[in-house]
Amino acid sequence: MKTMIGQPLDRVDGRDKVTGKARYAAEFRIDGLAHAAWVTSPVAAGRIEQLDLSTARAAPGVIAAIGSGDAPVLPYREREEPAPVDPEWGTPLRVFQDDKVRFAGQPVAVVVAETPQQARHAASLVKLRITPDQAHTVFDRAEPRPSHGKDDDDNPGVESRGDAEGALGTSPVTVECFSAIAREQQHPIEPHATIARWQDGKLTLWDKTQWVSNVRTEIAHVFGLEEEDIRVVSPFVGGAFGSALRTWPHVAVAALAAKVADRPVRLELERRSMFTATGFRPRSQQTVRLGAESDGRLMAISHDVVTQTSRYEDYTESLTEPARTTYACANVWTRERVVSLNTNTPCPMRAPGIVTGVHAMETAMDELAEKLGMDPVDLRRINHAERNEDDDLPWSSKELLACYDTGAERFGWSSRSPEPGSMRDGDQRIGYGMATSIYHAKRSSASVGAVLLANGTAVVRTATSDMGPGTYTSMTQVAADVLGLPPEAITFELGDTRYPQAPVHGGSITMASVGSAVRAACQGLAEKLMKAAREASSGAFAGLDADQVELREGYMTRSDGEARQRLADVLRDMGQDQIACEASAEPGEESENYASSAFGAIFAEVRVDPAVGRVRVARLVGAYDVGRVINPKIARSQCIGGMVGGLGMALFEQVEWDERLGRVMNANLAEYLVPVCADVGELDVTFVPSDDTIFNPLGAKGLAEVAICGVAPAIANAVYHAIGQRVRELPITPDRMLAMRS
């Protein structure tokens, strides 16, 4: 049987999803289920003076109403240290525990009723009066400061090597590039939802989450429970893009409402609430200064960043990491600061921080190439980093130069006319742009259980999630490959805290982490089975050495081909109805001795109509180094999704913020624009040969995040090439294009 790894297998969960068999968080059918709707603050800062729930409690169908001032006091035990997905400093929102309003959209009460309609109607009857306080809502007026989470540093937020300022002063060629990116919002098809049920002091949560174990830990601290008294179930996630990494307040509200109502309760967020109940990609302003020799070799990099956070937590991202790792440069200085606003706390959004920092760095590199009169690809080649100079470690693998070669050839980069504004098609101006893509590759410890059943099928379980990248399918392929079974003989189960622990499903770590554990568990299972057959007193495999027996095509087979037996028959002859193995995988010395990253090169063609300021992306070509590709069909899908996300970042997505009221003005899918099919041109994805077995046994690197990195700057650089003027703020909208003409 040919290896399953590397095959374009259809999604094993595809049929369940298109037929409606797959159950998402809000869709579980629980006996006695009641429904919740919450009440939120309309102002950005203040104190609750009145919260009258009496009319709501008297409304038809209402079971309970809870609000700030009369809610049960919850323990909210402090965690020894924040979860890796939580901010390093601050206190998460503690629902209904005080009268302070921190942002518009903060939940202040919840109503539980027999039907969703009754709950929403009763919530509208709550009488709320808030005495406003001064709200800090204007990004440009706030004073940037180091994050409180970095107070222990001598120079908080600053990292450096060499003497960047001195090198800038002596560089023959310098550029200074300012860029700003609007606040963006995740918009998964499935809104966030939680069903909570208490039974005999134990709590079950059906929740939309990218990390069931973290939900269990967080809610245990909120309610003062032992973790073993909480079960979290999340078999399917309808997209998340980072929005479901944290355990947000609605989960605690659902659990509290169920406890008070003494009924199972479902709380499902409306689309508008998605802008304030969960996080977002924070607004940023960045200044990059580059110094170079006349031949283009970088002498200095300076990258200064300011991003927004809330006033009750400090959320920070690694925007400056690309400046320190992408190119070879002896003198690098970076600084990250935050401004505190009366808003909900930001959170990771696909390729958090890195995609933002890559945009600033790659825009500056394009400006440097223009000033030097160099081809942008040649400039990047000259500054190729043979090792990670930030950590002073060799790369575990790197095929970025091959990405440049492959991407440029597939795109037809050699036909680019260097002069900005020189390529035209009638009234349209054509622009070619490119950018480097980079995203660190990491892995965490994970555990997996595997069981071979008497009928010759296997069940593999772990508490990871699948928010859409194909976890069910890719893990099935790894298990099938190791056990020598066809994919249809493997059942992969995930998303339940009763299963062996798994790390967060984010940061492009799942295949490297969980996949390695699947491989280890299935190898252990196979070895256990073959050892038992070899040590049996009789049978076709009795007395053979380990290298004389293998599993292939659903059979245990002698390597000399003299005998083979179905696995079900092997178990029967052993007198067992199943055999099981649990194993773990974790990073080893390689994480200390090597740096690992996924890489890519993105090429974009845009067509600009200068009369109306319209930009259309005709083509995107991405060549990626992501290590060994487990499933090329799913991998291509991931990259296409990343490209479309990058297109949205470049041309469409922005939260419209009312600075007077501290409120989101376009909290819906009608006015928060995302790319639709008509906006997407030709998308070409290719993977250069790569196999990073230093990083992990599977040889795979992260994929999801690297796909979006570099797309926005490639488009922005193409716009500059088309018109000879650079738009400094994303998204590049028609009004910003037309403003440059005045």
Q: Hey, which residues are catalytic here?
A: 705
Tokens of 424: 């035209």
Helices (H) and strands (E) in the chain, counts: 19, 34
Number of Cβ within a 10 Å radius of residue 146:
18
Tokens of 584: 């773990």
What angle (nearest 5°) sits at the alpha carbon of residue 645, between those of residues 643 and 647? 70
Question: Amino acid identity of 723?
Answer: I
Closest CA relative to residue 244, chosen from 257, 232, 259, 262: 232
Assign 556 to helix, strand or coil. Answer: strand
Tokens of 45: 């800062």
Sign of torsion over alpha carbons 322, 323, 324, 330: positive
The Cα–Cα gap between 110 and 198 comes to: 18
The Cα–Cα gap between 509 and 515 comes to: 9
Which stretch of DSSP H or E encloses residue 170?
A: helix 164-170
Phi, psi of 62 (to 5 degrees): -75, 130
By the 8 A CB rule, do 9 and 487 touch? Answer: yes
The Cα–Cα gap between 198 and 258 comes to: 7
Tell me whether residue 635 is exposed, middle or buried, using C-beta atoms within 10 angstroms of its C-beta: 0 to 12, 13 to 18, 19 or more: buried
The Cα–Cα gap between 558 and 406 comes to: 43
CA torsion 566→568→569→575, rounded to 10°? 150
The Cα–Cα gap between 409 and 403 comes to: 10
Phi, psi of 551 (to 5 degrees): -105, 130
Closest CA relative to residue 620, chosen from 604, 640, 639: 604
Closest CA relative to residue 161, chosen from 301, 41, 269, 349: 301
Task: Give the DSSP letter of residue 147.
Answer: -
CA torsion 120→125→127→130, rounded to 10°? 30
Tokens of 478: 């790894």
The 3-class secondary structure across 95-160, one letter per residue, is: CCCCCEECCCCCEEEEEEECCHHHHHHHHHCCEEEEEECCCCCCHHHCCCECCHHHCCCCCCCEEE
Which stretch of DSSP H or E encloses residue 686?
A: strand 682-687
The residues, ordered by sequence, that sit 6+ positions from 697 with a Cβ below 8 Å of its Cβ are 516, 519, 520, 585
